[in-house]
Chain A
Amino acid sequence: DSGVTQTPKHLITATGQRVTLRCSPRSGDLSVYWYQQSLDQGLQFLIHYYNGEERAKGNILERFSAQQFPDLHSELNLSSLELGDSALYFCASSVVVTGDYETQYFGPGTRLLVL
């Protein structure tokens, strides 16, 4: 158990709908990362938040957005869902060890199926 929790574990929805995925980082971790794992694209970085502020964006679609709240939990919002959005969505949290280096700890993921 990494200490990172994600809810829900599974989500089934229809095209055009909107869903919210939730992540609670490990106690004390200020950074939260979102990754998408799909058969087509593999594991891809979506977005990074640090202490409530967006720090970096990866291959995140405009239909997707995220935020990190004052209690450090994060939500990933996916809207106007398409079949191709079906994937496993991981959240990771991290702590700075020394300098710029971080170890990321991954949650169990949310499996999204868009029908």
Chain B
Amino acid sequence: AQSVTQLGSHVSVSEGALVLLRCNYSSSVPPYLFWYVQYPNQGLQLLLKYTTGATLVKGINGFEAEFKKSETSFHLTKPSAHMSDAAEYFCAVSAPGRRALTFGSGTRLQVQP
């Protein structure tokens, strides 16, 4: 079975500050890991993904995430927050042989001017 835990349902940062959204996963097999973003009244957009290979993954809009197997984590970061980053962010996991995504509960990011 797979599961995802996102620590912090709400995160607030100032514009220009570091963004750090936390994700820990549980998987009995090597996982595939994803971050999706959901803007208000819109669908989910893929930010980045980790499958195999390099553990530091770069995505769109300046976001990146690092897969740390020893910590079972896949935290999302961005060096400098923009107002346009305000949205809800979902971490998700899948695995070989299991195609459906298991999502975390989401983290709502607020960016203060």
Contact = CB atoms under 8 A, between A and B. Distances in A.
Given A42-B105, A101-B51, A106 B99 contact: no
A45 interface: yes
Interface string A83-110: 0000000101010000111111111110
A33 B100 contact: yes
A2 B99 contact: no
Interface string B17-60: 00000000000000010001000001111100101000000000
A42 B105 CA distance: 6
Given A43-B90, A108-B42, A48 B99 contact: yes
B42 to A, nearest CB: 6
Q: What is the interface of chain A mostly: helix, strand, loop, or mixed? A: strand
Contacts of A107: 43
Contact of B45 (A44, A58, A100, A106): A106
B113 to A, nearest CB: 28
Contacts, number: 53
Contacts of A48: 99-100
B18 to A, nearest CB: 26
Contacts of A103: 46, 49
Contacts of B106: 42-43
Contacts of B44: 90, 92, 106
A11 interface: no
Contacts of B103: 35, 42-44
Interface of A: 2, 4, 31, 33, 35, 42-45, 48, 55-56, 58, 90, 92, 94, 99-109
Given A90-B44, A101-B32, 18 more contacts: A33-B100, A33-B101, A42-B105, A42-B106, A43-B90, A44-B103, A45-B101, A45-B102, A55-B99, A58-B100, A94-B99, A100-B99, A102-B94, A102-B99, A103-B49, A104-B101, A106-B36, A108-B42
Identify the 6 closest CB pairs spanning chains A and B, nearest first: A43-B103, A45-B100, A106-B44, A106-B43, A108-B43, A100-B96
